[in-house]
Amino acid sequence: MSHTGESDAETGAEPGSREPIAEGPEATGRHWRAGAVSGLVAGAAMGVVLHGALRLMPTIGALVGVETVAAGWAVHLFNSAAFGALFVAVFDRGFFDELREDVGGCLSLGVVHSALLGVVTGGLLLPTALAIEGATSLPVPTLPVPGLTASFEFGAVIAVAHLLYGLVLGRVFAAFTLAEGEIGWLPIDPVDR
């Protein structure tokens, strides 16, 4: 019985649990929205690192033919939200239920997701786009450090940015989908989850 006098079957709760089980199309819709918004927030954090350390936003804008900071941010945030939805498409499956039940599991899934994105986008999509354009090298700036370390530092910043994306994605997704995932300063009403 729930604390309101309704049976567990009437409230959708598992016997002996306090939280209702989120099932059905309404919960699925909430997960898609949570993934997209989480991706957007994570993309903003990642973008601050990419632009702050490498001034990379104009280069990202150049991928759509407009080499400006504003275009770079627009492209980056759009992709971040889309990759957040992809996170739900990949990890909102029964196989991952145990991991999605707590904040640590959501963080882990976020990091795995961002690592896979880094490999696929940096190792497959970007080289393919460059080949289509006929470019022989990546037109990105490196850190203002001369010599061999500049390439390493560029890669390290990209890796840190992807790690940050995954951590923020997982944490914000947990805030939207888990009762115990609440973030005090983030105005998300648990009833709306």
Closest of 155, 139, 152 to residue 58, by C-alpha = 139
Q: Which residue range forms the structural domain that includes residue 135?
A: 29-192
For residue 10, is it within any domain? no
The pLDDT tens digits of the residues spanning 176-187 come to 888 776 666 555
The predicted structure's pLDDT at residue 35: 93
Into how many domains does the chain fold? 1
For residue 20, is it within any domain? no
Is residue 164 within 8 Å of 46, Cβ to Cβ? Answer: yes
Residue 76 burial by CB count (10 A; 0-12/13-18/19+): exposed, middle or buried? Answer: buried
The pLDDT tens digits of the residues spanning 131-162 come to 776 665 555 544 455 566 666 777 788 899 99
Would you tell me the crossing angle of helices 103-120 and 149-177 to the nearest 10 degrees?
140
The pLDDT tens digits of the residues spanning 100-124 come to 788 889 999 999 999 999 888 877 8
Amino acid at site 42 = A
Rounded mean pLDDT, 34-57: 94
For residue 79, is it within any domain? yes
Please, which residues have CB within 8 angstroms of residue 131's CB and are 6 or more apart in sequence? none
For residue 63, is it within any domain? yes
Closest of 119, 126, 124 to residue 166, by C-alpha = 119
The predicted structure's pLDDT at residue 1: 38
For residue 18, is it within any domain? no
